Structure 1
Amino acid sequence: MIKNQYLRCVQLKRSQVPSFKKYPFNLPSLRSLDELEFHPNVTFLIGENGMGKSTLLEAIGLALGFNPEGGSLNFNFSTYDSHSPLGDYMRVIKGVNRPSDGFFLRAESFYNVASTIEELDMEGSGPRVIDSFGGVSLHEQSHGEAFFATFLHRFRGNGVYLLDEPEAALSPLRQMSMLTRIHDLVKDHSQFIIATHSPIIMAYPNAKIFEFTEEGIHECPLEETNHYKMMKQFFDNKERMLHHLLNG
C-alpha cells in the first residue's frame, strides 16, 4: 500500500452495524466487506444496478465531508434527504498527504448542484462560483456539456475526485476525452474513485477495478469484467445477440 496517496482504503465498522438483514447492510457487496484498498491514482467501482457501488461511493463521500448530492466540500444544500446511513459506519484511512481540491460529481443530482451555484451567485456575496466552472451557466448547456465543463474547469488538480456514473451524460467520444482529462489530473497529483458502467472509462491504464456481484466484491482486470465481456460478445456477434434478445 502506498502511504502517501490521499485515500488508502475504506473500512466497514462491522462490529457497529446494527443488522446485516436491513438496507443498506443487506446488499451483497456489504455483507462480506471488511475493507477496500484504493489505487493511488484511479479506482473503479463497477457492477449491475442494485449491487451497492453508488451507495458505497456516497458513503465514502459523506465520510470525507462531501454533500451527499455532490459538489465541493463547501456545498451544504439538501433538496431531498435520501442518503443511506452507511457513511456513519465507514472509516476512511488517509495517507500522509492532504489534497488541496476535491469534488463529488453525481449524475443523478448534478442539476441540483447547478441550481445551487446559480443561487450562490445571485446572493453576490463573493466571487462568482460559476467562473470556476468555465463562466457559462451550467443550466444553459446540455447535460453533457455541463459535465465536461466541470471536468475541464472545476477540477484543479492535487485533489480527490469522486465520480458517480459520469458516463450518463457523455457520448462515447466525450468519454474518451474524459480519459485524457483524468490522465492530466493524475499527472497533477490527483486521485479518482469512480462508479461506472462504461467499459471505455474503466479502460484507464493500470487502474484498480472492483466488481460488485451477488457473491461480494472482487478485484479483476477489465477483460474479465461482466461489462467488458457483454459488450465484446454483443459486437463480436451482433446478429446472434439481437436474435436472442428479440426472439426469445
Structure 2
Amino acid sequence: MADILYIKGFRIDHHAPEYKDSYLSTITSLCHLYDFSFHRQVTFFVGENGTGKSTILEALAVNAGFNPEGGSKNFNFATHNTHSNLYSATRVIKGADYPKDGFFLRAESFYNLASNIDEIGDPIFLEQYGGKSLHEQSHGESFLSLMLNRFRGNGLYILDEPEAALSPSKLMTMLVRINELVHQNSQFIIATHSPMLMAYPDADIYLLSDDEVKKTCYEDTEHYIVMRHFLENPQKMLHYLFHE
C-alpha cells in the first residue's frame, strides 16, 4: 500500500522578490533547495540551528492554510508578525487526497496557542485538547495532551521541534502516538534535534547544511553519533570537552 501524502512536495522560486530580496537568500541551505519531493508519511528535517528547518516548515504550514504561529486552520491569532516571506516564494504540490484533520505545532509559540484556546473559552472546544487548560498542565503534559486528544488521524501534522518539552519517556509516548496516527493515514513533517524521534522506522531524514540538502541515514546523523559517543563513555567525553 502506497504512503498517504497530502503534501507531495514543494518548489522554491529563487527569483521571486520575496526570496532574492530578503535575508532568505543568505540561508545557505535554501540556496540548494529548489524542488523537493516527499516519499514517506514521516519526514524529518535535521541540521544545525539556523539552517532553515523552521523556516521551511513555516512556509509549508502557511501554504497549507495553517496559522503562522501554530494551531489548526481555524486559528487566526497573531502576537508577533515574525514569520518569513518564504511561503510567498514557495509552491506546495498537493497529493490526491485531502486531509480531514491537521495541525501546525511550533514549540516557540505554543504558549500563545494555549492562551488563545483559553480566550476562546468554549468547553466543547476545550474537550478537543483534553478538557483542561493547557496552561494548567506542565509544558510536556500539554504537548502530549495535544497529540493524544486533538490529533484525530487522516491528517497533515507539521511539527517544529516537538521534543522541546518532553522527557525521554514522554518522547517514547510521542513515537507511539505518531505510529498510531500514521496507521490512520496521517502525514508528519517534523523539524527536530531529537535522536529518539529520528529513530522512527521507515522515515526519511533530510540533513540541511551549508553545502547541501541531502537524504541521510539515521546512524549517519550528527545527532545520533554525538549522543551515542556521549552515552557510551560520558566521563571520557566530558574530559575531552573540559580539556582536563
TM-score (structure 1 length as normaliser): 0.94
Report 1:103-118 matches (<5 A): 103-118=103-118
**CA deviation map 1:180-238 (0-9, x unaligned):** 00000000000000000000001000100011111121110100111111111212232
1:12 alignment partner in structure 2: 12
CA RMSD, aligned part only?
1.6
Q: Which runs of 5+ in 1 are unaligned?
A: none
2:86 alignment partner in structure 1: 86
2:223 alignment partner in structure 1: 227
Aligned residue for 1:50, secondary structure, equals coil
1:49 alignment partner in structure 2: 49
Q: Give yes or no for contact 2:205–2:216 (8 Å, CA) kept in 1.
A: yes
In 2, the alpha carbon distance for the partners of 1:3 and 1:197 equals 25
1:42 CA drift (Å): 0.2
Aligned residue for 1:241, secondary structure, equals helix
Aligned residue for 2:9, secondary structure, equals strand
In 2, the alpha carbon distance for the partners of 1:34 and 1:147 equals 33
Aligned residue for 1:176, secondary structure, equals helix
Report 1:60-75 matches (<5 A): 60-75=60-75
Aligned: 1:153 with 2:149: yes
Q: Give yes or no for contact 1:209–1:219 (8 Å, CA) kept in 2.
A: yes
Report 1:89-238 matches (<5 A): 89-121=89-121, 124=122, 128-238=124-234
In 1, the alpha carbon distance for the partners of 2:18 and 2:103 equals 30
Q: Give yes or no for contact 1:3–1:95 (8 Å, CA) kept in 2.
A: no
Aligned residue for 2:108, secondary structure, equals helix
Q: Which amino acid in 2 is paired with 1:75?
A: F
1:24 CA drift (Å): 1.6
Q: Which runs of 5+ in 2 are unaligned?
A: none
1:15 CA drift (Å): 2.9
Q: Give yes or no for contact 1:7–1:40 (8 Å, CA) kept in 2.
A: no
Q: Give yes or no for contact 1:4–1:96 (8 Å, CA) kept in 2.
A: no
User: Structure 1 28/98 Cα, relative in aligned 2: closer, same or farther at 3 Å?
Assistant: same
In 2, the alpha carbon distance for the partners of 1:203 and 1:66 equals 27
Q: Give yes or no for contact 2:44–2:190 (8 Å, CA) kept in 1.
A: yes
Aligned residue for 1:218, secondary structure, equals strand
1:132 CA drift (Å): 0.3
1:59 alignment partner in structure 2: 59
**CA deviation map 1:94-147 (0-9, x unaligned):** 1110000000011110110111011111xx5xx632110110110100000000
TM-score (structure 2 length as normaliser): 0.95
Q: Give yes or no for contact 1:8–1:40 (8 Å, CA) kept in 2.
A: no
Aligned residue for 2:70, secondary structure, equals coil
Q: Give yes or no for contact 1:39–1:207 (8 Å, CA) kept in 2.
A: no
In 2, the alpha carbon distance for the partners of 1:15 and 1:26 equals 14
Q: Which amino acid in 2 is paired with 1:138?
A: L
1:81 CA drift (Å): 0.3
Aligned residue for 1:15, secondary structure, equals coil
